[in-house]
Amino acid sequence: MRELAPRPDGSHGVRAQLAVRQAFPPLDAAQRRLNLCRYFDPVAILAAAAGAYAIAHHGSAAGGLEALAPADALALGVLPWIALVALRVAGLYDAERYLRGEHRLESLTGRLAIATLVATLVAIGLDVVARGMAITSGGGMVLPGLVVWGVALASTLAVRAIVFSLTSPWSQPGGHQVLLVGTGPRAMRLFRERYGGATDRVRLLGLLIPRTASGDESSAAALGTLTDLEKILLRQGVDEVLVALPLRFCYADIQETFDVCARVGVPATYIDDVFATPVDGSSGCEIVAGSPLLRLRVTPEDRRLLIKRAIDLTGAALGVILLSPLLLLTALAIKLTGRGPVIFRQQRYGLNRRLFTIYKFRTMVCDAEQQQDALEAHNEADGPVFKIREDPRMTAVGRVLRRTSIDELPQLFNVIVGNMSLCGPRPLPMRDVERFSESWLMRRFSVLPGITGPWQVSGRSDLSFNDWVRLDLDYIDRWSLGRDLRLICLTIPAVLRGHGAA
């Protein structure tokens, strides 16, 4: 892995990295996802099976577990670990099989059913032996055994549904949107090799023709030439740029593509079949369908992101529960003091410039957006953003909500859905983003936007636009879980002080 030198483009020191990685999804990312399943499978099976077994025997989980026989306890105790072995033998923790598309429901269900059935039968056999019963007299175990098998199967399916949905990089609406640099059958072959069995969740936006392409290599799917790359990344949501060019003849085009992607903050992947022999394993390079794969990483891609997502979900859910009285009182205050909806909905740009609907308590009159054009001349903010301290569209209740940041609380639901994080750059309205004129500003969209962040604790509306962006990019480049927790702790006193609130 080698660092790309910071570029003098105003990007405040992009720390993009070229890393040789495994293809879709990267092998280590797939293995981490399956490791989570391996950790949660025994817990889910034990909890579900114990509850089902107790209810089947005694009509209630509490009463059934209190009267659990030692033999039954032995069977239930070993069931998760037998299941773990059976699931491993069935290849359900094999990242290579996962990469071939065998994580889909139709492929998973059969293997999960067989593995959990084998584990259940072994557990029942141990129960029968522990009771000293003859195998032929174990008929009374059939119904409980079927129940335990059913819940074991359901719990393992549920574990995968939750883990895959929370950790999939392509869970966004529209799937994983890819821009392909390269033309001809060779480029399409490399694209199919890169994504294997996942093409149903990957959308090819189009192709860009390299400068070195000959006239007969043009394609009907071409969006333009390589010179259009920066313009396309500025105006369209792209999750990944896939470079399928031969290194021997297109080095300058490959370098230019990575330079633009590093500046804009869009991940890029280079895949090439130029090598005729396997690459020495000491280099860290892995061969995918005979082709080495290199990726440009603009943000971290490790297990810390899973921890961040877990913190987001837990924190947002607790926030909704604990703050529900305040949420209800705020909604009632808005409803009683004026006409119009309680919740304000607006389209904003999120991760990789994907549009999502942000939720806030309404603080302005109902037609505030329609009045904005008439107020543009009174804009007090520098740069492309819009802000008026004494905005005439603000309601009396809205001023209090803005000053205390209570209007932001409905965004906890955005965090639960996955459109936002607790910490990150503030999501900007479409109007502001469409006025961005420099590509390096787009790096703000390489991470999930947040309810709070460096802007929230450093002065808010008192900051200039350049200081705002500088804080955002510094957060992206130096992100850590500890920094997120520190920002969350600093947010409360910052809100109470009310400095910069508008």
Sorted by where each begins, the domain ranges of the chain are: 2-25+170-297, 28-166, 303-497
Least confident window among 139-153, 228-242, 371-385: 139-153
Q: Percent of the chain, pLDDT > 70?
A: 71
Q: 191-200 burial string, b = 16+ CB within 10 Å, else e?
A: bebbbbbbbe
Q: Which of 8-17, 106-115, 131-140, 327-336 has the highest mean pLDDT?
A: 327-336
318-323 mean pLDDT: 89
Query: Which tops the pLDDT comparison, 404 or 63?
Result: 404
Least confident window among 136-145, 216-225, 465-474, 489-498: 136-145
How confident is the model over 329-343, as pLDDT tens digits?
Answer: 999 999 998 888 999
How confident is the model over 434-463, as pLDDT tens digits?
Answer: 888 777 888 888 889 999 988 888 766 677
pLDDT at 343: 92
pLDDT at 274: 45
Query: Which tops the pLDDT comparison, 122 or 347?
Result: 347
How confident is the model over 25-76, as pLDDT tens digits?
Answer: 445 567 777 888 888 888 888 887 777 666 655 554 444 445 556 666 777 7
d(CA 454, CA 407): 19
DSSP letters, 1-38, are: -EEPPP-SSSSS----EEEE--SSSPHHHHHHHHHHHH
378-392 mean pLDDT: 81
Residue 500: closest CA among 470, 455, 467, 433: 455
Q: Crossing angle, helix 27-58 and helix 303-322, to 10 degrees?
A: 50
Neighbours of 477 (CB within 10 A): 17
Query: Which tops the pLDDT comparison, 495 or 7?
Result: 495
d(CA 74, CA 399): 63
Query: 2-25+170-297: what fold?
Result: Rossmann fold (3.40.50)
pLDDT at 10: 42
262-266 mean pLDDT: 84
CB 210 within 8 A of CB 227: no
How confident is the model over 146-198, as pLDDT tens digits?
Answer: 777 888 888 888 888 787 766 665 455 556 788 888 877 777 877 777 776 55
The CA distances from residue 232 to 228, 237, 249, 298, 384, in Å, are: 6, 9, 24, 18, 20
How confident is the model over 220-236, as pLDDT tens digits?
Answer: 567 888 888 988 888 88
CB 292 within 8 A of CB 272: yes
Tokens 């990469």: give the residue: 99
